[in-house]
């Protein structure tokens, strides 16, 4: 038996709790499968995807393995080089219920509240995207025209910031402050029983799809890189909130695409905003159920599970744990 001070290698088993380095270190793939699990997610394809599966099926680990920080860990810490070699750059965005519940309203939802959430959600995506772009710009292997890029991003806004940002840090701070302001206004509006008031500063889709297009212009080495929004735990969104996500899937463009992760029951609707017309499987998105793929490869899955357990035990030994 291990003493209470020794590490249990199976104590931490949720991929959402792992560090980026742990995600990279504990990666185990299916054997004898062309491309392995990454090929299932297919991050170099522009076709959006719903990656669904039961709890513990590996959705989050797979999505995080394809995210920028873990890509960088596989390429000596250089995220720009990772993007160039891999052909894609993963922007991982977990949908924490604590962040989305404040916008939830009973159906039918007033158009006002839908607009508020849609604006906030795209700011959330854009902030995560800009964090990764800023990391890329710091790479010694990349030539990045920072000031012209920031100026071009500001042109995507309908309302210019009160203070003009001139570099990536300042632009990132502006988006962060804007999102925090919405957090504050929405949180307090419930206590005061009033609608939150703030300006909608850009049109839907302008940042999520416009910024990746600008990267290709101002960082030529990234011109062939596909930016992949890895949006996880979509079951935390209400049906109305999912309609906006579905609209982003329908109207995605340029060098950006979307992967959505969730439980088997995660998608409450396939309708879009406005007309309500549903997105079409095979034409506008691909639906992949991870459990079904793993069940079809029973022998490989057994080997996969053994290798995963061995990897956890080896890591525990490396950190000084011992077992009787």
Q: What's the angle, vertex CA 76, arms to CA 42 and CA 133, rounded to 5?
A: 60
**Per-residue model confidence as pLDDT tens digits over 12-57:** 556 677 788 888 877 777 665 556 889 999 999 999 999 999 988 8
Q: In what order do the strands lie in the sheet with 49-52?
A: 88-94, 226-232, 256-262, 49-52, 286-289
Given the DSSP bridges, would you call strands 256-262 and 226-232 parallel, antiparallel or unpaired? parallel
Reported as a single tens digit per residue, the pLDDT across 238-270 is: 999 999 999 999 999 999 999 999 999 999 999
Cα separation values, 300 from 30, 32, 167, 314, Å:
6, 8, 49, 21
DSSP H or E segment with residue 182:
helix 168-192
Q: What is the pTM of this model?
A: 0.88
pLDDT digits (tens, 9 = 90+) for 148-199: 999 999 999 999 998 999 999 999 999 999 999 999 999 888 778 778 888 9
Confidence of residue 145 (pLDDT cuts 50, 70, 90): very high
């Amino acid at each position: 038996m291990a003493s209470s001070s020794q590490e249990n290698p199976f104590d931490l088993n949720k991929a959402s709790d792992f560090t980026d380095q742990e995600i990279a270190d504990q990666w185990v793939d299916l054997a004898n499968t062309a491309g392995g699990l990454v090929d299932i997610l297919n991050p170099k394809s522009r076709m959006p995807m719903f990656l669904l599966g039961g709890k513990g099926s590996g959705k989050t680990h797979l999505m995080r393995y394809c995210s920028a920080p873990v890509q960088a860990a596989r390429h000596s810490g250089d995220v720009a080089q990772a993007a160039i070699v891999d052909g894609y750059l993963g922007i991982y965005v977990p949908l924490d219920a604590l962040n989305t519940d404040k916008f939830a309203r009973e159906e039918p939802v007033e158009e006002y509240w839908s607009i508020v959430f849609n604006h906030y959600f795209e700011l959330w995506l854009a902030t995560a995207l800009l964090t990764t772009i800023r990391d890329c710009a710091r790479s010694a292997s990349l030539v990045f025209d920072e000031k012209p890029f920031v100026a071009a991003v500001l042109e995507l806004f309908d309302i210019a910031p009160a203070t003009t940002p001139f570099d990536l840090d300042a632009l990132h701070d502006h988006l962060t402050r804007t999102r925090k302001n919405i957090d504050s206004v929405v949180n307090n509006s419930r206590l005061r029983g009033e609608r939150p008031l703030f300006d909608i500063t850009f049109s839907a889709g302008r940042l999520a799809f416009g910024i990746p297009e600008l990267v290709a212009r101002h960082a030529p080495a990234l011109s062939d890189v596909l930016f992949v929004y890895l949006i996880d735990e979509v079951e935390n969104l209400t049906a109305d909130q999912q309609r906006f996500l579905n609209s982003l899937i329908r109207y995605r463009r340029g060098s950006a695409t979307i992967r959505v992760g969730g439980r088997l029951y995660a998608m409450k609707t396939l309708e879009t905003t406005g007309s309500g017309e549903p997105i079409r499987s095979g034409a506008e998105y691909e639906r992949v159920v991870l459990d079904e793929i793993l069940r079809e490869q029973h022998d490989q899955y057994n080997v996969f599970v053994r290798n995963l357990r061995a990897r956890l035990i080896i890591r525990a030994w490396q950190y000084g744990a011992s077992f009787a």
